[in-house]
Amino acid sequence: MRDWETRKDLSAAIKALQLEGWVTNLKDANTAFDTRYVDRAQKEGNTITESLTTRRGDVTEAYLTLRNRLNSWHNVKYGEDPFGKTVNAINALIDRYVPLTVSRTRVNEEPGERDACGVLGCNVIVKIHRANGGFFV
């Protein structure tokens, strides 16, 4: 839309084809969509009553289940794709994620609350390790 208004060649083409009314209708439709989209997002945001902390257990369980399945299938299929690529991609993401969590601190944290690796909950983020031709956690 912005290009149609700012580029002379496009503006000229719209005039030549007599599409000004269509462009106006399209702008109005876009504005109406944007308004409804933002309103819906705000309503949904206001209705969320759970925090990330309350959902962490479910997410942890789902992650561990997925990780264990990937390990199992990788071992059964002797590292064939897509399992090898998936494991490598997950480990790369973990390598990027862990330093971010290490740099965070929690307000009013109790001594000894962190896991052995120094990160809150890092025992959940366990890389899939290769050992003796197989993957083990």
Look at residues 8, 4, 11 and name the one whose alpha carbon lies nearest to residue 26: 4
Q: What is the pTM of this model?
A: 0.39
For 88, left (φ over 0), alpha (ψ -120 to 50), or beta?
alpha
Considering only residues 104 and 49, tell me which one the structure prediction assigns the higher pLDDT.
Answer: 49
Co-location of 69 and 121 in the same domain? yes
Co-location of 78 and 116 in the same domain? yes
Domain C-terminal end among 14, 29, 47: 47
Co-location of 14 and 61 in the same domain? no
The answer on pLDDT for 115 being more than 70 is no
Co-location of 73 and 128 in the same domain? yes
Token duo for residue 59: 């997410």
Co-location of 59 and 94 in the same domain? yes
Co-location of 71 and 38 in the same domain? no
Co-location of 29 and 83 in the same domain? no
Co-location of 37 and 60 in the same domain? no
Co-location of 91 and 60 in the same domain? yes
Confidence class of residue 132 from pLDDT cuts 50, 70 and 90?
very low
When pLDDT is averaged across residues 4-31 and rounded to a whole number, the result is: 92
Range of the domain at 109: 53-136
The answer on pLDDT for 122 being more than 60 is no
The answer on pLDDT for 33 being more than 60 is yes
Co-location of 34 and 57 in the same domain? no
Distance from C-alpha of 53 to C-alpha of 56, rounded to nearest angstrom: 5
Co-location of 123 and 58 in the same domain? yes
87 neighbors 137 (Cβ within 8 angstroms): no
Reduced to 3 states, what is the DSSP secondary structure of residue 36?
helix
Co-location of 27 and 72 in the same domain? no
Looking at the structure of the chain, the number of domains it has is: 2
- Tell whether omega for the bond before 99 is within 30 degrees of 0, i.e. cis: no
